[in-house]
Structure 1
Amino acid sequence: MLTVRYFAGARAASGVSTESVGASSLDDLVDQLTARHGERLAVVLKAASYLVDGLQCHDRAAALPAAATVDVLPPFAGG
């Protein structure tokens, strides 16, 4: 299971700050989170950056390590 941590607008859109999800890649994770939380979060996830165990991840199809922590970082105002 992955630990997903939401920040700023992602936290507001999901309604939680942290949750556990079983996913194999970021693409899979986004699909599951969208199904779980709906279109409001889906919009945020499309623009978000992702940290996997503290490292920025650009390859959304890459396999995620088991028990990784994924931080969902939406664009922040002013940057």
Structure 2
Amino acid sequence: MVITVRYYAAARAAAGVESEHLELPDGATLALALKAASAVVRVPEPGAPELGDVLRRCSFLVNEIAAKDSERTLEDGDTVDVLPPFAGG
């Protein structure tokens, strides 16, 4: 199955891309998707932290719905949004 991962703010800087497609095995969880995203070799923006470090502080949406359970199963075509903590208010 293939999912889309969209990165925002610090996650985008760490990933070096706005979005990407990840190929995962059927029945993959959000946790597995995040592990796969961390394993991709990419060029982050200068001075950006490691993506794995950013992901530990992020919240996530799956198909625009908050995903608090990392063991949530994903489906082919799902979109995962990676949202780092935002300052201000």
Which structure 2 segments of 5+ residues have no match?
A: 43-48
Q: CA contact under 8 A between 1:26 and 1:61: conserved in structure 2?
A: yes
CA distance in 1, matches of 2:9, 2:83: 7
Higher gyration radius (CA): 2
Which structure 1 segments of 5+ residues have no match?
A: none
**Count, aligned residues:** 79
CA distance in 1, matches of 2:88, 2:79: 26
- 2:60 partner SS: strand
Equivalent residues in 2 for 1:24-35, closer than 5 Å:
24-35=28-39
Partner residue in 2 for 1:15:
16
The two structures have a TM-score, normalised by structure 2, of 0.81
Equivalent residues in 2 for 1:33-48, closer than 5 Å:
33-37=37-41, 40-48=50-58
Structure 1, 47-56 or 57-66: larger mean CA deviation: 57-66
- 1:33 partner SS: helix
The two structures have a TM-score, normalised by structure 1, of 0.91
Q: Which runs of 4+ in 1 moved over 2 A?
A: none
Q: Percent identity?
A: 42
- 1:51 partner SS: strand
Question: Which of the pair is proportionally richer in helix?
Answer: 1
